[in-house]
Structure 1
Amino acid sequence: MRLAFIADGRSPIAQGWISLLTERGHEVHLLSTFRCAPLPGIASLHFVPVAFSGMGKQGERGEFHAPGGTQGIGLRSVIRHWLGPFTLPRAAGTVRKILETLEVDLIHSLRVPFEGMLGASAQLQIPLVVSVWGNDFTLHARSSPGMKNHTRQALRRADALHADCRRDIRLAADWGFQADCPTVVLPGGGGVVRDLFKPALPEMEILRPEVRKQLEDLPVGTPIVVNPRGFRAYVRNDTFFRSIPGVIERVPGAVFLCPTMAGNEEASRWIAQLKVEQSVRLLPKLSQGEMAMIYRLSNVMVSPSEHDGTPNTFLEAIACGCFPVLGDLESLREWVADGENGLLIDPDDAEALAQATSRALMSAELREQASKINQGLVDERADRDRVAISAERFYRDVVERVKTTSGEADGELQP
């Protein structure tokens, strides 16, 4: 198939989904809303700035750096929510010009704001699939009048919907998505590579020397907790850091690993304020192979988020045997039965997080029980090979359905 993706080409989630299709031989064109390096296997790359995505400092790996930790992230979000919708008409014109020359079978917008909005605003007679990411409805859609209006327009225009949890399929109907249009629930990043993310003995040599140096002094059997979420506006890292003293009190010697937080001023302030320097390791951004190693090394993964779908970090962590302690959200209850294969907590409650993390660290039996359940869930619902087959089938069904309905509509217009 000839596919066009409107996506943030820097995003690991977008990269994971797009590579799912390039690896299977499809012709893929990427219209990226942020500048990014060409992805392996794509036929063409186009930059379409929207909602000020052409502004700001970008790192070597393409990530956007907002000053001020979560405060900077919050300010950027407010600006994009209130003023970003006004940039859509111009960006949609760019999308229209590009896609009119490519002759693709299907457009897939990865995320509602602003990629789904762009796909809808371009007003092309090409089947449009829109992906819902974790906080598109619960956080972004109601953030401003413009975001409300364009979210509704995107969902009304969409010919089909992809989400990573059933909750978002249900919520989409409230935003105008037609009940008779196709839907599919699949991991947003294309699923878990089981050859990489699986229970196994940690292999320290996989890590870069500077990362290995931070971990090589840990005694064998050290209780280890990993927080892989980094700083995001909807992840309560204040709750995470405030929970650490309570965990150390119950489980002396526990160590906390924090990928993507190296050099973060807010993280450093929390550590100094709580006097837990000896218990926390702030790590740089890690490769997939390094993350798999960190998950295997860790006993517990924590994610105190207030808004989420099905995070890739959660899937990859449980695939490696990590016990999950998560914010109690409807989307995550689709995966986790509290007390059986994970623990769910109020993301605002540091003491609840400390108690849950400690309970998981102290109970090998609970962790083993959870791992058995979670291995089956990943194999059944998140295995990358299975996701690829389902995605291809879904695309073909959408294209065929649009052709059929368009033909019926044309027939109705005949005298």
Structure 2
Amino acid sequence: MRIVLFANTDWFLYNFKLPLARALRARGDELILLSPPGEYGPRLRELGFRWEALPVSRSGINPLAELATIARVRRLYATLQPDLVHHFTIKCVIYGSLAARLAGVRRVVNSVTGLGFALLANTLKARLIRPVVLSLYRLALRGTAVIFQNADNRDTLARYGVLARSEVFVVPGDGIDAEQFAPQAAADDAPRVLMMARLLQSKGVAEFVAAAAQVRAAWPQAEFQLAGSPDPGNPESIDEASLQRWANEGHVQFLGHRSDVLALNQACSIAVLASTQGEGIPRALLEAAACAKALVATDVPGCRDLVIDGETGVLVPPGDAAALAAAIARLLGDASLRARLGAAARARVLARYADGPIIEQTLAVYAGGRQ
């Protein structure tokens, strides 16, 4: 088949979809990768893939400009004449699906990796734009195959009535190379707590900072690291003044955007994600689990799929910094418990979330298989 994978960044394709792309190439499919231009597109070409730059504004809201984008995607699909297109992230899902319908693409697959600000936040802005987003989803998803990463997200959109005319699947995550992300003895035995997340309010950054201060009152030698960068185009991005104030307090090391995520995971004692809203299957926890790290996460969709309380990690209520601090302190004080939870977390990744089973399930969706 001729297959198109369309995402809103070339970084996403390179970091999350290479195993799928390689599997499709290995079975003889003709593959075209589409995304806005960036530094990773040339890297994809160096690996022998056909990558095409397709500009899409992440935060644009000008109706004429957005319609022009849909028309541009339609023209490209009409030229390429793919047998199947697979879209990732909300704009690519909506615009790509509408364009594919206009271009007569036979099979359209859409990955809804998370529900996002409009459907999860409770701010006035979110409530105002929610009907618009739902209407667009209802229009775009009609007649397509829709992949969710967890059943909670599937059920939420189903309750809104946007999936009645879609094929619906749950494929748990983007997959992970469990040979690359593997346990390794840390260079030191420093108690180190790592959170990887965009610096958004809904990622629980404030709760992580507060928990760090509480834990360090009893464990002053504990290191708390936060790897991630602000997202200025997101309405929940944390302001620079707050970030600077927290950095000055000295309880958390703000590492910024990092490319050495494997080394950071292997060197930590505990991995945390303090989201106050739902996730798909959070990549940060998945990478840490593959490295056999004990996990502490909030009891929200996506996190609770990977983190089984008392088995692969510890779940705490969202927005509760004291509970987060107590869970972290408990694990810091019990090395055998950390080891047991970490081993179980990696076993769960191997059985359910590794590249092999995820690619197999994705190819079944391409073929029209039912779950």
Cα 1:49–1:375 shift into 2, 3 Å: closer
1:293 aligns with 263
Letter in 1 for 2:78: E
CA distance in 1, matches of 2:323, 2:110: 36
Aligned length: 342
The superposition leaves residues 218-277 of structure 1 with CA deviations (integer Å, 9 ceiling, x where unpaired) of xx4221100111313521211111111211123231001222359x764332132xx32x
Asked if 1:281 is matched to 2:250, the reply is: no
Alignment of structure 1 residues 299-310 onto 2, 5 Å: 299-307=269-277, 308-310=279-281
Would the alpha carbon gap of residues 391 and 266 (structure 1) be closer, same or farther in structure 2, given more than 3 Å must change?
Answer: same
- Aligned mates of 2:73, 2:330 — CA distance in 1: 51
Structure 1: any 5+ residue segments left out of the alignment? Answer: 53-79, 204-219, 402-415
Q: Which of 92, 96, 108 is equivalent to 1:115?
A: 92
Matched, 1:194 2:178: yes
Instruction: Say which of 154, 169, 176 aligns to 1:169.
Output: 154
Choose from 74, 83, 94 the match for 1:96. 74
- The separation in 1 between residues aligned to 2:222 and 2:179, in whole angstroms, is 29
1:117–1:151 CA contact under 8 A, matched in 2: yes
Identify the match of residue 234 of structure 1 among 184, 195, 202: 202
Alignment match of 2:223 (pick from 241, 245, 255): 255
How far 1:180 sits from its partner (Å)?
Answer: 6.8
The answer to whether the 8 A contact 2:8-2:91 is kept is: no
In structure 2, the residue matched to 1:271 is 247
Q: Letter of the 1:18 partner, please give it.
A: K
Q: 2:108 — aligned with what?
A: 128
1:222 and 1:84, CA in 2 relative to 1: closer, same or farther beyond 3 A?
farther
Distance 2:70 2:139 in 1: 13
Report deviation, 1:98.
Answer: 0.4
Secondary structure of the corresponding residue to residue 167 of structure 2: coil
2:230 is aligned with 1:223: no
In the other structure, the counterpart of 2:3 is 3
Find the residue that maps to 1:352 and give its secondary structure: helix
Does residue 1:105 correspond to 2:90, yes or no?
no
In the alignment, which of 345, 364, 369 is matched to residue 393 of structure 1? 364
Residues 8 and 34 of structure 1 are in contact (CA less than 8 Å); yes or no, is this contact kept in structure 2? no
Q: Which moved more, 1:248-257 or 1:86-95?
A: 86-95
Report if the CA contact (8 A) 1:360-1:366 is conserved: yes
Question: Structure 1, residues 159-191: CA drift from partner, whole Å, max 9, x if none?
Answer: 211121122222332342137725241313xx1
Q: Distance in 1 between matches of 2:58 and 2:189?
A: 48
1:347 aligns with 2:318: yes
Letter in 2 for 1:167: D
CA shift in 2, pair 1:36/1:265, >3 Å? farther
Question: For residues 252 and 202 of structure 2, what CA distance do their matches in structure 1 show?
Answer: 22
Distance 1:283 1:192, change over 3 A: same
| Separation of aligned partners in 2, 1:373 and 1:143 | 43
Cα separation, 2, equivalents of 1:86 and 1:194: 44
* Pair 1:48-2:55 in alignment: yes
**CA offset digits 1:84-142 (Å, max 9, x no partner):** 6664322111111001111211011102x211110222123221111011234743885
Rounded to whole Å, the distance in 1 between the matches of 2:356 and 2:300 is 28
Residue in structure 1 matched with residue 354 of structure 2 by the alignment = 383
Q: Choose from 200, 207, 212 the match for 1:244.
A: 212
- Taking the aligned partners of 1:304 and 1:88, their CA distance within structure 2 comes to 34
Q: 1:305 and 1:11, CA in 2 relative to 1: closer, same or farther beyond 3 A?
A: farther
**Structure 2 vs 1, CA of residues 116 and 390 (structure 1 numbering), >3 Å: closer, same or farther?**
same
CA drift of 1:393 comes to: 2.9
Q: Give the Cα separation in 1 of the matches to 2:56 and 2:166.
A: 33
Offset at 1:356? Answer: 1.3
TM-score (normalised: structure 2): 0.83
Show the counterpart of 1:213.
none
Deviations 1:38-57 (A, max 9, x none): 134432313132454xxxxx
- Give yes or no for contact 2:196–2:284 (8 Å, CA) kept in 1: yes
Q: 1:296-347 CA distances to partner (integer Å, 9 max, x unpaired)?
A: 2111111111221211111000111221111210332222222332122233
Q: How many angstroms apart in 1 are the aligned matches of 2:9 and 2:362? A: 19
1:153 maps to 2:139: yes
The 3-state SS of whatever aligns with 1:326 is: strand
Structure 1 CA distance for aligned equivalents of residues 201 and 354 of structure 2? 29
Do the aligned partners of residues 372 and 138 (structure 1) sit closer, same or farther apart at CA in structure 2, a change above 3 Å counting? farther
The one-character-per-residue Cα deviations of 1:322-375 (angstroms, maximum 9, x if unpaired) are 211112103322222223321222332221211111111112232122123212
Give the aligned residue type for 1:228.
Answer: M
- When residues 86 and 302 of structure 1 are mapped into structure 2, their CA distance, relative to the original with a 3 A threshold, is farther
TM-score normalised by the chain length of structure 1: 0.75
- How high is the sequence identity, in percent, across the aligned residues? 25
Contact 2:246 2:252 survives alignment (8 Å)? no
Q: Structure 2: state its 5+ residue gaps.
A: 231-239
Partner residue, 1:71: none
1:28 paired to 2:12: no
Which aligned pairs between 1:291-370 and structure 2 lie closer than 5 A?
A: 291-307=261-277, 308-370=279-341
Residues 1:49 and 1:93: Cα distance change in structure 2 (over 3 Å): same
Q: How far apart, in 2, do the equivalents of 1:7 and 1:225 lie?
A: 32
- Residues of 2 paired with 1:202 and 1:221: CA distance? 7
Cα distance in 1 between the residues matched to 2:62 and 2:202: 19
The 1:160–1:306 alpha-carbon spacing in structure 2 relative to 1, beyond 3 Å, is: same
Cα distance in 1 between the residues matched to 2:63 and 2:298: 30
CA–CA distance in 1 between the matches of 2:323 and 2:17?
A: 38
